[in-house]
Structure formats: structure tokens, C-alpha cells
Amino acid sequence: MKKVRIHDKNFQCLLEAARIDAQISRMAGEINRDLAGDNPVFLCVLNGAFMFASDLMKQITLNESEIAFVRIASYAGTTSTGRVDELIGLTAEVAGRTVVIVEDIVDTGRSLRHLQEMLRKAAPKQVKTAALFWKPDALEEAVVVDYKGISLENRFVVGRGLDYDGLGRHLPDLYVLEE
Ligand code: IMP
Ligand code: MG
């Protein structure tokens, strides 16, 4: 069993990189099929989604697609603050376009709801959401995720773009906090 220590906490491997990669390929296939002929803007939600967005975009075959970035923060340490801070807002022109929100993980759903509301003001044609991980038991908002990767138990995870206070994002596997 692979283990890592980050700051003051111990984590153990939950999902190997190859299993995550397979799900990203499946999601890319679904998006390519559903949005064939469209010119979507993929909106990568920094910081956590940088690795997922990179892996996903390499498998997108929609030649008119673009990628844009927003940056929000809602976590301090291993818990959600209940607040969503917008650190870099929307700069891309999305009016009349399909937007695909690219998120690392949907936990309470607050970040996603915040983004969906922010986007609605920019009058897109439609908003779709792709989330690599989601924790159904932590969900507090009625948000729709169109493309779901892997469902997780309500436990804190790091790796694959996700951090514990800034560290662990580079890990290709997903690790879970040891009880
Ligand atoms: P939500 O707003 O509660 O849905 O949280 C979404 C954001 O919190 C994600 O985009 C992550 O950046 C962060 N987050 C949620 N759960 C975890 C976790 O288990 N590990 C690391 N970051 C997390
Ligand atoms: Mg984060």
C-alpha cells in the first residue's frame, strides 16, 4: 500500500493513476459525442482542476473548442470554509457559447453553484459540468453534474491536482486521509 505524509497527516493510496485515466478517457468520449459540431469553452477551475483539465483536453477532438481559466478557493486545511472566494474571475467571452465547467471535485457543491450563477450572467448558450470526483454524501446544493468521473466516500483526498494546504497536487494517484 502506497503511503504519503503531507504536513502533519498520513495518507494512503485510494485510486491508482491508471484507473483515473480510464475514467477521464470515458468522460472525454462522452463530451466529444454530445458536443460534436459545437465550439465549447472549457472553463478550468483553478487551482485543483489543472491536471484533470490537461488530461481531458488532450482527448477532446472538438476542433473549435477553447480553454479558459477561473480561480476560486473554498477550502482551508481539510475542511470547506463555507465561503467561495473568487480570485480570478471570468475573462473569456462566453455569450452564446456552450461552456463546460471543468472541476476537480464536487464536495458540498457550493463552488459549482457559485460558478453556475456567475456564468448565467454572461449569457452562455448552455452550461455543462465535468467533475473528475464527487462526494455524493457531502452534497448540500442541488447542482447538476453532467459528466462524472469517480464517486468517493465523504473523506478528504489529495493528489491528482487536489491539495492539503498547498501540497500534494502533483501526485498522479489519489490518496485518502488515514483515520
Ligand atoms: P465544494 O464547493 O464544497 O463543492 O468544494 C469544491 C472545492 O473544494 C474543490 O474544487 C476542491 O478544490 C476543494 N475540495 C473539496 N473536497 C476536497 C478534498 O477532499 N481534498 C482537497 N480539496 C477538496
Ligand atoms: Mg482546492
Structure confidence by residue, pLDDT tens digits, 167-179: 999 999 999 999 8
Q: With CA atoms as reference, report the closest residue to 167 among 47, 83, 84.
A: 47
- Taking the C-alpha atoms of residue 94 and residue 39, their distance in angstroms, rounded to an integer, is 10
Residues with CB under 5 A from ligand 2 (ion): 48, 75
Ligand 1 atom at minimum distance from 110 CA: 2
Residue 62 confidence class, pLDDT cut points 50, 70, 90: very high
Ligand 1 atom at minimum distance from 74 CA: 8
Ligand 2 centroid, distance to 47 Cα (angstroms): 6
Ligand 1 atom at minimum distance from 47 CA: 12
Looking at residue 167, its pLDDT comes to 98
Concatenated DSSP letters of 85-118: EEEE---S--TTSEEEEEEEEESSSHHHHHHHHH
Residue 156 confidence class, pLDDT cut points 50, 70, 90: very high
Is pLDDT of 23 > 90?
A: yes
Ligand 1 centroid, distance to 10 Cα (angstroms): 18
Q: Are 15 and 149 in contact (CB under 8 A)?
A: no
Is pLDDT of 12 > 90?
A: yes
Q: Report the DSSP pairing between strands 157-158 and 174-177.
A: antiparallel
Q: Report the DSSP pairing between strands 98-106 and 126-134.
A: parallel
Looking at residue 94, its pLDDT comes to 94
Is pLDDT of 140 > 90?
A: yes
Where do the DSSP E strands lie in 38-97?
41-46, 66-76, 79-88
Residue 80 confidence class, pLDDT cut points 50, 70, 90: confident
Tell me the whole-structure pTM to 2 decimals.
0.95
Average pLDDT along the chain: 94
In Å, what is the CA distance from 93 to each residue of 31, 77, 108, 125?
A: 21, 34, 28, 12
Instruction: Give catalytic residues, as residue numbers.
Output: 107
Ligand 2 centroid, distance to 37 Cα (angstroms): 33
